[in-house]
Structure formats: structure tokens, C-alpha cells
Structure 1
Amino acid sequence: MRAENARALDALFAPAGVAVIGATDRSGSVGRAVFENLQCGYTGHLLPVNPNRETVFGVPCVADPSQTEKPVELAVIAVPAAAVPDAVIASARAGCRAAVVLTAGFKEVGGDGVEREKELARLAREHDISVLGPNCLGVMNTALDVQLNASFASAAPQPGKIAFMSQSGALCTSILDYAREQRIGFSKFISFGNKADIDEVDLLHYLAEDEQTSVVLMYLEDLDDGQRFIHLARRMTGRAGGKPILAIKTGRTAEGAAASASHTGALAGTDEVYEAILAQAGVLRVDTVQELFELASAFGTQPMPAGNRVAIVTNAGGPGIMTTDACVRQNLSLARLSEETRDTMSKALPDNASLRNPVDVIGDARSDRYQVALDGVLADEGVDAALVVLTPQNMTDVEQVAHVVADASSRWPDKPVLASFMGGTDVAPGVRVLRDMGIPHYSFPENAARALAAMTRYRRWVDRPETEERIYDVDRGRAHTVISAALAEGRASLLEPEAIELLTAYGLPVPKTGLAASAAEVERVCAEVGLPVAMKVASPDVLHKTDVGGVELNLATIDEALAAFERLTARVHEHVPGADLRGVTVQAMAPKGREVILGAVRDPRFGPLVMFGLGGIYAEALKDVAFRLAPLRPLSAERMLDEIRGSAILGQFRGAPAVDRAALSECLQRLSQLMVEFPVIAELDMNPIILHDDGVLAVDARVVLTQPVAE
């Protein structure tokens, strides 16, 4: 399915009537569980469909969903896999615009199941019916005028502002149980299973316009269309009043990169692709279900902070220090309280209270001190958010303090307030009050700081300047000639001089370079590029030149260059007998500088992926890289520079000035344009790129092409 408007899934979430195909009152069956769930609240017409039953729980049963005069827009299908196609056809003919296929036994089991699922997808298109599943738990809508629970879950969630969607149905049941304990409500709860038709992007399209939903949570195992996901998620998250998307993406492995020919390909494992997709979409990625709901609790109840300045209010010095450390680690800034704020608090707090941030109201504090401190810090224009920490003392009325926290939050609706009542049994009554009053609570302040930091990151995303992709003036004809010549020879890679010429055609900075196939040509090329030079073997059979001793540097004279030519050719024949040696690449020596890597790889599903990271021979060992999908916008290129752990080397470093970030960003964007305009390029490395005093220089390049089709 490709939803063209937000109303395309109305029949799934708010149907005028529901037919349950496979409805039964047989104990332990899915058909019974889903029918009972629909009976418990659904406001529309409910039709059991089963040719072997006259009634189901007292409701007259029909053999076909068309045997009713009342409108039926949604079919919930709980029949064996082999019977699903006929059920879908019957549903469509009865006027159903959507179907939920709960049945398993499709592509997840392999073999015939794969073909069965392809047939299901074909039927959905052919009969113009939107299909959720198969192999899913179902769908729920808690809106009071709908109250739809078209699932076989054991219980429905309470209403809320959070929408949750998951590929895993089994995870859904665990989430529902956890959410009930944590008093977390949902607007929509969706298990979409195998995605034969409706996928996560279709669902996002609907939720983007759903007035009941303010936050979207996702559990993803894979994405089928990264570019489509980015486009919609950016539109959904990237504006004031937008809806945050929080996601768990499983499968952090990189085995698929093992056979790559380039550094970039080896570094671009499955997880790196998804990391790039989620980053460009403005989606906040989390690692655990606990973190997902800790963040959702804050996003679903609190306003976005204007900045990252946080005030801490505590009744204990040690936890106050712990909270401070946690905030600093999360790149939150401890707010500087104004003199006016401190003066106001000093009139009501004891002399031994700490009036600086964190504000310590002392261990014997009752609710009145918390009220003074919270009103003080929230009124301060230098404070963007408040984090309240409580440890249970003998005189602490935790319930009353919780009410004070909630009241203060309501008086300052533009500033988020998060709480950490540390403990267990003693603080439980206060925690219940906080959750009932919509104040996110965390057992430990580190978790609260993490949630608040995520909110500030999202706010920065929303406030980012919008930039459009830049299209540079390049020589596409020259690039086409270089690539065509290699393909005409049946080669799947470019020689380095060809790669350098390709980069030159796209305006990427490279040293003067030439190819020498003989001693005489070595002398000629050295004269053209200028001494000193670097020399490297040029052979389509040698991709990693350093592995065969195929690089010589700082050759200052013609004699040194000629001797190097002899050594290089001998080494190639020794290490790679029978290699197709085209000569040596002769290149003007680059100035000294810091080394980074720029690269690109073409993902078979999502298209070209651009990479930036620390470079040189340790690129794969360090694995300090950032990825984005092409086409690359200027802001995305800039953020890639900041994302690597070693980004400090781009600034002033050991007495050297900061590098030319603008030139480096432009290189990334030109590389992105090259990958978009030449789909035949499978992998590309520029490693290293030298960052020197006068700019940047790509001194080594490797280009792998898709294998040419044999004629």
C-alpha cells in the first residue's frame, strides 16, 4: 500500500462496522479472543462470520461478510493461512476497505509461505483493500467514539496520547502489560506483522494527522523504503507542533559488509544504514524498551524545552551531585539562577539550604519548601526545564510533594518538569500521584536526565535551519567517459588515475596525477606533476595497495622515482602473480595534515550512502564514522562532521588551526551528487583526505562499479 492521504486508513482505525471472519466461541481460539475484545467497547456494528456457527456469544453468525444490510468496512481475519486469500476476496466484495490478517504461516515460515504472502499482496492491490499483517496481533484505537480492539491481546490499553506500532506481535503483548503497570495510555496500538501491504510509512502517514496522537513509538526490524520513510518522518517531526518519533531498531550487526571491496563498504553494516536513515528523518533512536517508554513518558506529557538549561531541586546533597553529573554527561547545561531568584527563595528556605543550582531544600523539607524552590526556578528566565529529586526521609510527605510538583508544572506550562523520587515502597504513593497528574517519573535521576536530553535534541531538530540540496556545476560528460571506458573493458573498478579524473570531473580536490607504464614515462610524468612525488601501483587486480607494498612516498629525485618504479612492479608480480599491471600512478606529494576518510556505498534497498570519518590505514579499525543517505543537504553534511567521536581534530589541534569545514562539507555534498547521478558506482573511497592549512586534498581514491552485464 502507498497511502496518498491521511484518511486512506480510516476504515482500519475507525470502521463503521467490523466483520470477524473465523469468529467462534471455542475456548482458546484466536477467533474467540478477537470477537470478545471487540464486544468490550466497540461502538460500531459487529458481524461474526463462520459457516459452521449459527451464533457467536449470542450474535447471529453469517457464512459470508456480504450477508448483512449494515455497513462493514473492516474485516478481521482469523482463519488458517490457506483460507486467507478467499477471506480477503470475500471481504472486498462485501465492501470492506481494510482487513487485518491475524493468521501466521506466511513469509516468516519460508517455502510456500513466501508465495502465499505474495499472493496476499497481489489480492490487496487487485481488490483495492488495505491489508494489515499477516502474522500480527491486530490494531487498537482507544478514542471514546470508536473503542476498537481488533486484536487477540488479553486486555486493551487505557487512552492516551502515545501511538505504538511494532512488527513483533509477541512484543506488543509484553508492552501492553508493562504499560498498564506504568499507567501509560495509548491513542493507537498497532501490530503490523509481515507488511504484505500496509507498512510503517503508511501508518505514519495516518498518525501524522491523527488528533489523538502526539508521540509515535516504533519497534522496527527492517525498513523497505528508506527514502520514503525519511521524507514523511522529516515532515512529521521537523516543525513546531510536530510529533516526535521514538524508535527501537533491532539487528545491530554488520555481517553483510564482510565481502565489501572498500573501507566504506566494510564499515557500512546493516545498522549503520538504519542509523543514517533515522538520523536524517529526525527519529530519536533508543536501545531498550525501558528507554523507549521513559522518553515517551516525557514527550507525551511535557512541553518541549526552549533550550538545554536545567534547574535541579533536591532534598539531598548526594543525589543532587549525581543528578548534576548525569545532566552534564547528557550535554545539558546547569542553569545559572538569577540573583532575584535566589533572593526570593532565601526568604522562605532555611539558612542552610543551597540556593545555587542544584537547589537543595535539605533533608527535612516538606512540600512547602519544594513549592518555593520550584516556583522560583520555573519563574527564572534562565531556566528551560526543572528536574525534581526526592529521597524519602521520616518527615517527607511524598504524596503532598508530588501534588506540589504537579501544581507547579501546571502554573508553568511552557517548561517541562520531570521527577525522580528515589526509592521503592516509601515513594510509591507519590509516584502514583505523579503519573496520575501527568508528571513523568524516573526511579533514578540518570534516567530523567537522559529523557530530558532527548527532548532538547528533538527541540534542536525542530529549530534547525531548513537547507535544500545543492546541485554543483560538474562535468558529467567527462565522468561518463571515464566510467564507460572501464566498463567497456569488462572491469568492475577504476584504476587510480581514472578515479582521480572522475573526482576532478565533480570538482573534488585532488593532487596532480599521471600514469606511467615505463621508466621513460616516469620521468615525463614526474616533470609534469612536480617533485617530490608519491608512486602507487596501478592494477585492477590490486585494490588495497598497501597490502602488497604498492606505495612509495616522498620521492624527491628522478633517480629515486625510477628505483621506486622497479621496486613497485617487482612487488606486484611477487604478491599477485599474473596481475594486470597497467603501470604506476605518479602523484604530487600532498602537504602534511590531518587524515579523514570520505566514502560512499550503494545499499541495494535504500540507495547511495555517504560516509565521513577518521581516515588513513586505521579507518576500519577505528570505525569512527558517520553515514547519511544521499542526496545530502548542507546541514546534514555539517552534522556528519560533528558526529564522529574524533571530531575535535577538525578544530584547533596541537597548535594547528581549525580545518576548512566548509570545504570538507562541500566535498561530502559533491560526492553525494556523484553517487546520485551515477548509479553504476557501487562503492567509492577517498582515503585519506588530507586536511592541510590551505584546504583539503583527496590523495587516494578507489571506485568499484557494479558488475557489467555480459552481452
Structure 2
Amino acid sequence: MAATLNEIYNARSIALIGASQDPNKAGYQVLKLLLDEGYEGKVYPVHPKEPEILGRKCYPSILDIPDAVDVMVVAVSAKVVINVMKQAEQRGDVKGAVVLSAGFAETGVPELVEAEAELVRIAKRAGIRVFGPNCIGMAYPALKLNTGFAPGIKLIEGSAAYVSQSGAFGGALLMFAGDQPCPQGFAKFGHIGNMCDVSNLELIEAFNNDPSVSVTGAYMEAVKDGRELMRIAAASEKPNLILKVGRSSLGAAAAMSHTGSLAGSDKVYDGAFKQCGIVRMDTVEDMTDGMKAVASLPKPKGNRVCVLTEAGGMGIVSMDTIDKTDLVLASIAGDTLAKLEETLPSMAMICKPDGYIDMTAAVSPEQQAESLRLVLADPGVDAVLLMGLPPIFRDAKDTAERISPVAKEFDKPVAVCFMRGESMAEGRRHFEENGIMTFDTPERAVKALETLYRAAFRNGHPLEDLPPAPRHHLVEKAVAQGRNLLEPEAVSLLADNGIPTVDHAFATSSEEAQDAAERFGGPVVLKVVSPDVIHKSDAGGVKVNIRSRSEMADAYDAMMSEVASRVPGADIHGAMIVPLAEPGTEIIIGMVRDPQFGPTIMFGLGGIFVEVFKDVSFRVAPFNEEVALDMIKETKAFELLGGVRGETARDVGSLVDLLVKVSRMAATQPEISEIDLNPVRIYERGLAVLDARIILSCGN
């Protein structure tokens, strides 16, 4: 049976395969770090010729070590690694392997890809869990354990855990955490390299379930199973902060679809993260400051922030930044306002605007402390941003000593921005030693508070596990013929899934089209039905406002001639006739199957504007009404649906229901690879799907 990750992190003995006397080699640096940091377990250097290294006895091979070996760190060339794995299998007691060696599947060379596969086969037989290859492995301050060689990592115990797909970047995150006025510690760190065995998802889940961890941060380049990531995050009681990099499109194959062309994997990641409660970080600074805030500050009870500043410029910068976040300025109570006016210098700008207090440079440390006490005691304040640049005649540490006790009186977060500089260092250190986090700039302080708020109020929605539905007879027919659904078939499939559609008729001749127009009795729309005509309007395949048999006869002949001219050789099955819809707000709903997240639903403004504004949101199917409403609110379309400039509000409830039904249809019918409902027209009551295109996996 394979060991657990907890057993590996708690390793009491490590064999370093490839230990070296050469300071320029990883085998020397890892050994030196283990010894210098005071690793609490036993270390066994392994080298075929050296009798000892750094004062430690060397063993010719791992087979020669007489005592138990929990973990081996492998720092030899790739071609030797397989033999080392076989020796570990022969021993039978090795629980984990950290393979620092590069030169495996990451090269793309077939024989090296196969070598990594062989490594995995041996590990599975032996029950050995593998970090890497091509990694720096793990760090665990509680045991003074560090299997890597990244510079500047301080093994200080804390409650933040880090997962990284990049060794250098992961090491940098730990270095940034340590490079604070009061170095920030961490609970555990893991770098998984090629992820041949231990994955970023497994580490995130393990850290989420670790009682010593309060927040997990991850640097992520890609994820093999996006739905599994969502499951892990939604189930976690602890926040996950992820810096996801790499922004690319879904690929040329999806470009024919409105949804596919607008998706881009980054937009899908964005929607999926919001859906499952992951707090997405945009920059290294965001990650560093966010982890610092979440691991160290009290949870806010809301997003209402009071700005206390002694420098007007810093205050203005903070206000500009707050305006771009989920935070809002707090509303200060009348009695608090009166007490602030009594406390602060007469030139102070108090609550202009509400929640913003420029104490001015004339403020004393005592007045700052009392002002902080007053706003923290105000029930309308959830957090305070305290900013200052104490002048040369005031000591920053003395100011911090007077303010810190006040901040600790209340269970509310206080973020301090004393601008970076030697004169501020002692003051900032005092703040942080007393649990009050400081930040280099107003922007970073504001964003840290926003991250703290988002982490506290994340709302993770687990994906419902729906079984596949029986294949619809229309899908069965299309699959058998190796084609996509025709629009009349797509409309019928939607209707059978409870989705509102407009009445329609299908005609294979001008006469049938004229009969349909007469039967509907009012203005109608004529649309070509062809699997080869993707965007009908561009090909002349749509005629509107047809009012009589004679108009239909002319329109039918003209449309067929125009389509044949613009799309030579198109397989035209006939035409679809629908009543002309009443005016309404047009939106688009689409679906693509993302390689990582599976069926993914898009929502945004429809009609001709979707490609222009690209104001769309994504969520992973299936989802409930709350998620559907979130994705609507995320777009500008929500404002239009609410009614602007005298327009009546639209039926958002029916739109929510439509999104949920489309998501369930996509999740339960795997043959559907794309859906494009554009436009969908929303009314004061109800809605209508005016155009529907459904692509099947067999018809691409």
C-alpha cells in the first residue's frame, strides 16, 4: 500500500542519492541545507565512491543503508534514476521519492517520456509516492525539512501552505513571504514538477485537510482535471488562493462557434474559480499580500472599509484602488463622526466622502490611536486601512507602539501602509510582531483587504453529479448520419428539455413555405436549413417580415439562390419558418466542452453585439439557480435587463431557469459538443430562443 502524503512530510529519515562534494551541484546544496537547518530526522548521503560528505558517512548505494529509509531525494542524472527506483523497490521500506532530476517527459523526447512512465510503474509496484521528476519537492518547517535548493527560503513555522508547478516560482513565493518586516512563516510547501504521480490537486486537497494549515496558495500553469479541482475547492472549509498563469484560446476548432471564439481557457478558468470559491490572484504581489492577510488577520464581517490616512496623496491612491475592487467605503455613524471631530486637528478632512478620513500630517500618535479606536468600534466598519508616513521628527516605531494595542482590542482587520523605507522598518516590524500586517503601498494594502474579504465570503458550489440521459431520437438519427442537428431538430431537442422555443414549421419547397406563412397569419421569418451554413445572415439565409404568400414565394426563391451563390455546394435541406418575434433584450447562451472543465456555459449580450463587446461570463455545467444568477450579474447585460432609461425590467427569473436547463442538458448529453442560442430575446414576462445551433461530436 502506498504511503500517505502526511507520512512523507513527516519523514524521519532521508537518503540523498547523488550527494556531492561539489558546491555547484544540487546533491551538495540539498545536503548542506538539511544539515544547516537542523533537519530533525536522519540523513544518509549516498555516493558510490565518497567515504563522507560534509562530515556525514556516505553509503555506496541505498541498498547499503542499514537503517530504515522513509524518503529518498534523487539528485542523479536521468539515465540513473530508473536503477535507483529499482533499488528502492528492492529495499521495500521507502515511502516517498523526490526526484530532482530533469530530462524526462518534459523534453517531449519519446524515449525519455517512456523512461518517466517506467519510473511510475516501478513506484506503483513498490508503493512509493513520487514528487517530480524535475522538481524541488517539499519543505516542512516543523521538522526543518527542505528537499530543494531554492535560495532564501526561511523555515519559519506558519499556517500558510503553498503548492507550485514551478520550482523557481514556488521558491520565490516562500522567499517573498520571508522577506517581510516580520518574516511570514508557512506550514508546508510542495513542488510537483512533471506530476508523474503526486499532483497539484492532491497537494491542495491534503493541505486543505491539514489542521496546521489556514490557507492554501497555489501557482498553477494548468490542471489535468478541472472538475476535480472544483470539487476540492468547493468542499474546503479553508480558502484557496490561486495564481493561474497562461492565457490562451480553446483552439481553432472552436472558432466557428460564438461561444468557442469568446471562451479562451482563461475565461473558463475565471468562471470556474468563482463558481467553486477559489480566490484568483493576478500578480506575485497579490499572492504574497493575500496569503499574508488571510493567514494573519481576523476575518472581516463585510466589505466596508474605513480609510484613515495622514497623507492626502496616499489616501487618494487608496480611494482609486478601492473603486476597482469589491470593497466599499464604510458609512460612519453620527456619534463616531462627532467624536472624531473632537479628537483630530481642526484641519482634518473627516468623512469627505463618508468613510474617508484625512487626519493630516499634524496628527499625533495619540490622536491616530484614538481615531483608530473610534472607527473600529463603529458597527458600520468592517476593516480599516491605516496609512501614514511619520515625519522626520516622529519615530515610526513609537507611533506603531501607540497604535498596535488599539488594533488588537477589536476583532477586525487593520491593514497598515507605512511606505517602504529604512525609517519605517522598525515601525512596520513592531506592527507585524503584534499581528498587524503592513504593506508597501496603498494599492497593495487595499488589494490585500479585498483578498481577505473574498476569502472570507467565498461561496463554493459543488458540481452536481448527473448521470448521462438516454440519447434523444433526433440525436440518434444525426449520429447515425454523421452530421450535426439541423435547426428544426435543435429546436425540438430544446423543447423536449423544457426550454421555451418559438412555434416553427419546416418547408422543403416554396409551396410548403407559403402554406406555413399563411397558417401563422402574421409576419414571419424565413431561415435556410443547412448543416453547411453556420452563420445564416452572412450567407443571405435569413429573410424577415414576410407578410403574404406572394412575398414568401419571392423570398424563398431569392434566399435559396443567394445561399447557393455564397456557399457553393451547400447541402440545403429546406427552410424554417417562424413568427416574427416581438422586440426585447437580446442575449446569447452558449456551451463548449472545455478540455479541463468539460461542459461550460457562456452568457452575455446577444445578437450582433456579442462579438463586439465580448461581455460574457462562463460557468461549468451543471449548476443551480444561484450560480446562474451570479453569471448574469457579472455582465453589463444585467443592467439592461433591470431596465434603463425608462425601459421595463426583463424577466430575469426565466433567464435563470433557461441557463440551468441548458447546463443540465449539456451535462447529461455527452454527444453535444457545442450549443449556440443567439439571440435569445427576453421580455417583461418570458423569453424566446430565436436561433439555435447544436453541434454534435460526430458532426465536427
1:280 counterpart SS class:
helix
1:485 maps to 477
Q: Is residue 26 from structure 1 mapped to residue 18 from structure 2 by the alignment? A: no
Q: Distance in 2 between matches of 1:171 and 1:260?
A: 33
Structure 1 partner of 2:269: 274
Deviation digits for residues 626-646 of structure 1 (CA, Å, limit 9, x no counterpart): 111112122211111011244
Counterparts of 1:282-681 in structure 2, within 5 Å, are 282-356=277-351, 357-412=355-410, 414-422=411-419, 424-462=421-459, 469=464, 480-491=472-483, 493-681=484-672
Question: Is the counterpart of residue 192 in structure 1 residue 192 in structure 2?
Answer: yes
SS class of match (1:679): coil
Q: Tell me which residue corresponds to 2:141.
A: 142
User: 1:653 Cα shift?
Assistant: 2.0
2:385 aligned counterpart, secondary structure: strand
Residues 347 and 259 (structure 1 numbering): CA distance in 2 closer, same or farther, change over 3 Å? closer
Q: Deviations over 1:48-71 (max 9, x none)?
A: 222232222222222333434433
Moved more, 403-412 or 72-81: 403-412
Instruction: Determine the C-alpha separation between the residues in 2 that align with 1:257 and 1:373.
Output: 59
Alpha-carbon distance, 1:121 to partner: 2.5
**CA deviation digits over 1:468-497, x for unaligned, max 9?**
85989x9x66x6111111122221x11111
SS at match of 1:310: strand
Once residues 675 and 301 of structure 1 are traced to their aligned partners in structure 2, the CA distance between those partners, rounded to angstroms, is 42
Question: What value does the CA root-mean-square deviation take over the aligned residues?
Answer: 2.4
Three-state SS of the structure 2 residue aligned to 1:232 is helix
Change (3 A) 1:582 1:361: same
Contact 1:75-1:98 at 8 Å conserved across structures: yes
Distance change >3 Å, CA 469–CA 657, structure 1 → 2? farther
Contact 1:596 1:615 in 2 (8 A): yes
Deviation at residue 467 of structure 1 after TM alignment: 8.5
- CA spacing shift, 1:394–1:64, aligned 2, 3 Å: closer
Residue deviations 1:484-524 (CA, integer Å, cap 9, x gap): 11122221x11111111111111111111121110121123
Deviation at 1:256, TM superposition (A): 1.6
Q: 73, 78, 96: which is aligned to 2:94?
A: 96
Query: Partners of 1:457 and 1:618 in 2: how far apart?
Result: 31
Deviation per residue, 1:581-628 (Å, 9 max, x gap): 111111122111111110101123431111111111232232211111
The answer to whether the Cα contact below 8 Å between 2:466 and 2:667 also exists between their aligned partners in 1 is no
Query: In 1, distance between residues paired with 2:265 and 2:340?
Result: 53
Could you tell me how far 1:178 is from its partner in structure 2? 3.1
Structure-1 separation of matches of 2:311 and 2:149? 47
- CA shift in 2, pair 1:655/1:230, >3 Å: same
TM-score (norm 2): 0.94
Question: Residues 246, 691 of structure 1: CA spacing in aligned structure 2 closer, same or farther, 3 A cutoff?
Answer: same
Q: Which amino acid aligns with 2:199?
A: D
* SS in structure 2 at match of 1:656: coil
C-alpha distance in structure 2 between counterparts of 1:93 and 1:203, whole Å: 27
Question: Superposed, which structure 2 residues align to 1:165-204 within 5 Å?
Answer: 165-182=163-180, 183-204=183-204
Mapped partners of 1:316, 1:22: distance in 2: 57
Per mean C-alpha deviation after superposition, the further-off stretch among 189-198 and 208-217 is 208-217
Contact kept, 8 Å, 1:257 with 1:269, in 2: the verdict is: no
Q: Answer yes or no: is the 8 Å Cα contact 2:74–2:100 preserved in 1.
A: yes
SS for the counterpart of 2:173 is helix
1:120 aligned partner: 119
Aligned to 1:72: 69
- Alignment partner of 2:458: what SS? helix
| Paired amino acid for 2:274 | A
**Alignment correspondent of 2:231:** 231
* Rounded Cα–Cα distance in structure 1 between residues aligned with 2:256 and 2:519: 32
Distance in 1 of aligned mates of 2:653 and 2:118:
51
Asked whether the equivalents of residues 234 and 462 of structure 2 are also in contact (C-alpha less than 8 Å), the reply is no
* Conserved 8 A contact 1:389-1:419: yes
Deviations 1:106-133 (A, max 9, x none): 1211112222222223333232211111
Which runs of 5 or more residues in structure 1 are unaligned?
237-241
Whole-Å separation in 2 of the counterparts to 1:605 and 1:325: 36
Structure 2: distance between partners of 1:155 and 1:328: 36
SS in 2 for 1:269: helix
Q: 1:348 to 1:393 in 2, by over 3 A?
A: same
CA deviation after TM superposition for structure 1 residue 201, in Å: 1.2
- How far apart in 2 are the matches of 1:359 and 1:617? 47
Cα deviation for residue 282 of structure 1 reads 1.1
Deviation at 1:159?
A: 2.6
Alignment of 1:63 with 2:57, yes or no, is no
Identity rate, percent: 36
Number of the residue aligned with 1:154: 151
- 105, 108, 112: which one aligns with 1:107: 105
The answer (yes or no) to whether the contact 1:331–1:453 under 8 Å persists in 2 is yes
The worse-fitting range, judged by mean Cα deviation, of 227-236 and 324-333 is 324-333
The amino acid across from 1:572 in the alignment is V
Deviation of 1:155 after TM superposition, in Å, equals 4.1
| Cα deviation digits, residues 644-675 of structure 1 (max 9, x gap) | 24431121223222222221111111111111
Matched AA of 2:669: F
State the distance in 2 between where 1:100 and 1:471 align: 38
Q: Could you list the runs of 5+ residues in structure 2 that have no partner in the other structure?
A: none
- What amino acid is the match of 1:482? L
Q: Distance in 1 between matches of 2:25 and 2:507?
A: 77
Q: Secondary structure at the match of 1:248?
A: strand
Provide the rounded CA distance (Å) in 2 between the counterparts of 1:541 and 1:631: 30
Greater shift after overlay, 655-664 or 169-178? 169-178
Amino acid at match of 1:96: V
User: Residues 359 and 260 (structure 1 numbering): CA distance in 2 closer, same or farther, change over 3 Å?
Assistant: closer
Q: 1:195 to 1:529 in 2, by over 3 A?
A: farther
Which residue number in structure 2 is paired with residue 164 of structure 1?
A: 162
Structure 1 residue 314: deviation in Å? Answer: 1.6
**DSSP 3-state at the match of 1:560:** helix
Once residues 275 and 446 of structure 1 are traced to their aligned partners in structure 2, the CA distance between those partners, rounded to angstroms, is 22
AA in 2 matched with 1:188: K
Aligned counterparts of 2:457 and 2:522: Cα–Cα separation in 1: 49
Hey, what's the Cα distance between the residues in 1 that align with 2:317 and 2:85?
A: 57
CA contact (8 A) 2:345 2:362 kept: no
Amino acid at match of 1:14: N
